[in-house]
Amino acid sequence: MTDPSLESKVALVTGAARRVGAAIARRLHAAGASIVIHYRGADAEAAQLEKDLNARRAGSALKVKGDLLAPVAPQALIGAALQRFARLDFLVNNASAFYPTPLGEIEAGHWEELIGANLRAPLFLAQAAAPQLALAGGAIVNIADIHAERPLKDYLVYSVAKAGLVALTRALALELAPAVRVNAVAPGAIAWPEDGQFAPGERARIVASTPLGRTGAAEDVAQAVHFLCGAPFVTGQVLAVDGGRSIFL
């Protein structure tokens, strides 16, 4: 299969300044799309990505800062995209929060943040974007997690949030059909958290239980998102990008 061209399309990628989000933004841009780079706090990285993409194709990238948990954020982001590019073809819900919440230590704030970032924000962004995506015959791609199906111990609220995102993906595929396709990518071990949540021994155990025997790269997720953006007869699906690890979970 050849990579689908996204020439003249516009994609909004949340959490796009760094890591997996930046890889998705670069991949879709290389395929021809203009990119709305959403970010929350990574000012320098967002500015550099915007500069890089615009250097490759003038006027093709716009950075927009915002807290996705703010009630005005969905409409503000969609409005910024339309003001700059006058259309919206793809919404990639990549922004996420991830940290452990062992049972017995869960606080209301943990629920608000993890459910908010991983489930509530994608829902309200999808709702705000839906009219424009329908006009374009576009698509939504949610970044889920293999632990949506098989929970990760001590990450109870996160696992519940991602399970909700998978359910949201399938429900939106029904609600928005036939005009808008909605799918998800479920990564496995791709980019380790930068705050040391997984000790070296645990990382080694995870790699050892992965059939392909290695971690993936951000580009692997970006490639899957690219495919789903351009797959005209695929909707309501969750594509695992995990080196086969979910076989053993």
Q: Among residues 39, 99, 155, 158, which one is catalytic?
A: 158
Active site residue 158: yes
Confidence at 1, pLDDT banded by 50, 70, 90: very low
Cα–Cα distance, 50 to 36 (Å, whole number): 9
Here the contacts of 207-210 (C-beta below 8 Å, separation 24 or greater) are 209/245, 209/248, 210/242, 210/243, 210/244, 210/245
Question: Do residues 197 and 101 make contact, with C-beta atoms less than 8 angstroms apart?
Answer: no
Task: Kindly state whether residue 84 falls inside one of the protein's structural domains.
Answer: yes
pLDDT digits (tens, 9 = 90+) for 27-77: 999 999 999 999 999 999 999 999 999 999 999 999 999 999 999 999 999
Task: Kindly state whether residue 179 falls inside one of the protein's structural domains.
Answer: yes
- As to burial, measured by CB atoms within 10 angstroms (0-12 exposed, 13-18 middle, 19+ buried), residue 44 is exposed
Residue 94 has pLDDT above 90, yes or no: yes
Residue 150 has pLDDT above 90, yes or no: yes
Task: Kindly state whether residue 106 falls inside one of the protein's structural domains.
Answer: yes
pLDDT digits (tens, 9 = 90+) for 191-233: 777 777 788 888 888 888 899 999 999 999 999 999 999 999 9
Residue 173 or residue 193, greater confidence? 173
Task: Kindly state whether residue 4 falls inside one of the protein's structural domains.
Answer: no
Cα–Cα distance, 220 to 146 (Å, whole number): 15
Instruction: Determine if the peptide bond prior to 178 is cis (ω within 30°).
Output: yes
Cα–Cα distance, 98 to 83 (Å, whole number): 32
* Residues listed for the chain: 249
Give me the CATH number covering residue 17. 3.40.50.720
Q: What is the mean pLDDT of residues 99-108?
A: 97
Compute how many other C-beta atoms are within 10 angstroms of the C-beta atom of residue 117.
Answer: 23
Strand partners for 184:
142, 238
Residue 20 or residue 206, greater confidence? 20
Cα–Cα distance, 242 to 146 (Å, whole number): 8
Cα–Cα distance, 203 to 101 (Å, whole number): 19
Residue 102 has pLDDT above 50, yes or no: yes
Task: Kindly state whether residue 249 falls inside one of the protein's structural domains.
Answer: no
Cα–Cα distance, 182 to 236 (Å, whole number): 6
First to last CA, the chain: 30
Task: Kindly state whether residue 216 falls inside one of the protein's structural domains.
Answer: yes
Cα–Cα distance, 201 to 90 (Å, whole number): 39
| Per-residue confidence (pLDDT) for residue 63, from 0 to 100 | 98
Task: Kindly state whether residue 212 falls inside one of the protein's structural domains.
Answer: yes
Residue 129 lies in domain: 10-243
Task: Kindly state whether residue 5 falls inside one of the protein's structural domains.
Answer: no
Question: Do residues 33 and 55 make contact, with C-beta atoms less than 8 angstroms apart?
Answer: no
**Mean pLDDT in the chain?**
95
Q: How many CA atoms lie within 13 A of 238 on its CB side?
A: 24
Compute how many other C-beta atoms are within 10 angstroms of the C-beta atom of residue 56.
Answer: 12
54 φ, ψ to 5°?
-70, -25
Residue 249 or residue 169, greater confidence? 169
Name the domain count of the chain.
1
AA letter at 218: A
Residue 6 has pLDDT above 80, yes or no: yes
Helix or strand or coil: residue 240? strand
